[in-house]
Structure 1
Amino acid sequence: MTSAGHGCDLFAQAPAALAVIVDGRIARINTLAQHILEADTPDELIGRALFDFVHPMDLAQTQIRLRRLESSQEPNPATELRLLSLRGNLRVVATSSRLCAYRGGQALLIVALDMTRRHLIQAQMRDNEQNLRRLFESMQDVYYRTDTQGVVQMVGPGVRRVLGYDPQEIIGRPAEDYYPNAADRDAFKQAIREYGEVSDFPGQMVRNDGRVIDISISSHALFDEDGNFAGVEGIYRDVTERTMLERELRLLATTDSLTGIANRRAFLERASERLKHCRRYGSTLVLLILDLDHFKSVNDRFGHVAGDRVLVRFVEASRAELRETDLLGRLGGEEFCVILEEAAANHAMQVIKRIQQRMRHTVFKDDGERYTVTVSAGATTNQPDDRLIERLLERADKALYQAKRAGRDRAVWYQP
């Protein structure tokens, strides 16, 4: 096994692990085989039985291959085999074997390549793939990809939970088929074209059962190697519960819980917007402040539950006399405010009068007593130099004060 011309030992310098087995024991081994079996010197291996290093799970397979080799005299094809090193560590090799002459007798030549690292990498890749697949299948979000025409090319299994469809029912169909409002899809496409990506973009989709759900989309545009638009990829999730909660919170933050109308903050914000609109277009509005007369005495005599009933009934009476475009809000306690757009002074005073008449004819009964509650009001209109709604509130409040001093149950138009 020595090349005299080059003075090198081909066995020792072979690019593969080599071992010569005589009578089932290691007779010779090269350096690569020594490293695979984690021996410091060849002497630790010479004379050891081959099967000492074969993993128990591969022992039967190895015995069968050796018997086949002895009977056929044909080299065994390469196969993967697990070994245990001197240190008890698992090694994976790709090995083949054949019979050969050795020192005047017959021996078994084993050739092996160390596949341990590749085997570990493959095992890690399989584990990673399985973990990714489990993650993919358990995602609350729905992964999707569309082509340039918006046709779904890929969709994750989360679509079963979110939309009630099997992925195969979605693939190949336009994503627009699942949007109840074309405007939502158009707005999404416009954002993708303009910015290349969107995050937490709102929209709605239709489930298999016909129910419309709120969704949040995070996606980005795809481009081919030439920089041409190739489609869209991203995820979407069902945010119906979150959206409902946000709506409820907004409602709580802007609505008077007793009467259901705008609370002070919400009313003033909306009234300010209407005043800005009037300034921009040169239109007019009227602001009314309405106050329930002697309301404190109702609470003192009959309790707050009775007082609450009076407030609710007053709101009902006011709504009956207001247009849908008019704005009604509770400033606090028994004081309410109304915005009438494009209303003349006489019209505004007529609205107040009708509300007052409704309240005069509303009889309340508590603790065996019958009583009515009257309403006083102050009114004003916007002036060219009014930039803040508070200016109108101040003027209407002064008019209300005059109505109270004049005997209540009446309305006063502010006069400078």
Structure 2
Amino acid sequence: MAQKNLQDSSPSHGPEAAQTLIALMHAQSEVARLSEREQLLNTLLMSVNAVLWAFDWETRQVLYVSPAYERIFGRSADRLLVDCNQWRDSIYPDDLDYAERSLAEVLDKGAVEDREYRIIAADGQVRWLSDKCYVNRQAEPGQPVIIVGIAEDITDKKRMESELHRLATTDALTQSSNRRHFFECAHQEFAHARQRGQPLSFLMLDIDDFKIINDTYGHQEGDNVLQCIADSGRAALRRGDLFGRIGGEEFAAVFPGCTPQMALQVAERLQQQIQRMRFTHEGQTFGITVSQGLTCLSAADENVENLFSRADAAMYRAKREGKNRIVTA
């Protein structure tokens, strides 16, 4: 009897136990799969060079930030989760107002995908971000308004764009505006002067006897002369003036808001600087001169080409009258 009772009280190995064991094995397998997925997700987040983030608009709290934050910003993610101003304080001062306004726009638009602004990383480097954000509104009233986003480091892209723009708008030899860019800017300044009723002056400059310089001293010395003319032009002109190389040895300048008297003073200063230049080639020293034509905006002018034509004619008149002089028209 005692033996029977002992057998009755031993653990059961029937169907229920088997089902429990199977369920346990399934649970363990599911835990393993979840762990693998979590590890995979963490690996993916570590490899993505963009910051994924979530922000509670009402409490002003950063709910989540991905590992790329520390790589791009060079700051602690833990501190950001405690104080959202860590992000705000990293924004480049000139871009702060735009960054805050564009973030607030997501509440009305639902998404803002064209935000670009600069940050100052912990190491002092300025980086460009493309920060797309979306609002996640809960259906139930009273639920928190969560904004989620992805901030991508586009610094290299911006540098490339800047370099391509420089190459497209700059004369390779003199680093001045090329002809196309110069006239694009000149058209804009002409339109502004017309709208605001402000004066505008146009200057043409040509190096005297440049062919003789090339033939006597070589094209490399001629290139050096062109570069020095461009340097003098940038030094003599005022901030906001336009200066560019528009032909072989021809340069042009536009003086926005400049009266005829002021424009003549600038042209005279440039003339004097160029007259003082000296070049040395194989023991020989030589100087250069330029002929300039200067004109100002009149009521009859319909476009910037009118000013260009008058200044160009005045410059060639300076050539005919003996060179090394300024003629106004």
Q: Same fold (TM over 0.5)?
A: yes
Secondary structure of residue in 1 paired with 2:243: strand
**TM superposition score normalised by structure 2:** 0.85
Q: CA deviation at 1:257?
A: 2.6
8 A Cα contact 1:290 1:336, kept in partner: yes
Structure 1 residues 74, 352: closer, same or farther in 2, change over 3 A? closer
Match of residue 195, structure 1, among 109, 113, 125:
109
CA distance in 1 between partners of 2:292 and 2:140 (Å) = 71
Number of paired residues?
A: 318
CA distance in 2 between partners of 1:165 and 1:346 (Å) = 56
Structure in which a larger fraction of residues adopt helix:
2
Matching residue of 1:177: 89
- Aligned: 1:304 with 2:214: no
CA distance in 2 between partners of 1:391 and 1:79 (Å) = 99
8 A Cα contact 1:153 1:172, kept in partner: no
Matching residue of 1:348: 263
Match of residue 126, structure 2, among 212, 216, 223:
212
Structure 1 residues 299, 190: closer, same or farther in 2, change over 3 A? farther
Matching residue of 2:3: none
Q: CA deviation at 1:234?
A: 0.9
Q: Which moved more, 1:142-151 or 1:290-299?
A: 142-151
- Aligned: 1:225 with 2:139: yes
Structure 1 residues 283, 76: closer, same or farther in 2, change over 3 A? same
Secondary structure of residue in 1 paired with 2:113: strand
Q: Which moved more, 1:390-399 or 1:182-191?
A: 182-191
- Aligned: 1:186 with 2:123: no
Matching residue of 1:168: 78
CA distance in 2 between partners of 1:226 and 1:384 (Å) = 65
Match of residue 252, structure 2, among 324, 337, 345:
337
Amino acid at match of 2:198: S
CA distance in 2 between partners of 1:320 and 1:224 (Å) = 60
Structure 1 residues 232, 349: closer, same or farther in 2, change over 3 A? same
Q: Which moved more, 1:122-131 or 1:264-273?
A: 122-131
Q: Give the percent of matched residue pairs that are identical in Structure 1 and Structure 2.
A: 32
Amino acid at match of 2:126: V
Amino acid at match of 1:274: E
Cα-to-partner distance string for 1:357-398 (whole Å, 9 max, x where unaligned): 222222221122222111111122223343432222122112
CA distance in 1 between partners of 2:305 and 2:17 (Å) = 86
8 A Cα contact 2:103 2:133, kept in partner: no
Root mean square deviation, CA, Å: 3.0
Structure 1 residues 277, 78: closer, same or farther in 2, change over 3 A? farther
Matching residue of 1:46: none
Q: What pairs with 1:257-268 in structure 2 (closer than 5 Å)?
A: 257-268=172-183
Cα-to-partner distance string for 1:11-57 (whole Å, 9 max, x where unaligned): xxxxxxxxxxxxxxxxxxxxxxxxxxxxxxxxxxxxxxxxxxxxxxx
CA distance in 2 between partners of 1:209 and 1:352 (Å) = 45
- Aligned: 1:73 with 2:13: no
Matching residue of 1:368: 283
Matching residue of 1:400: 315
CA distance in 2 between partners of 1:338 and 1:193 (Å) = 47
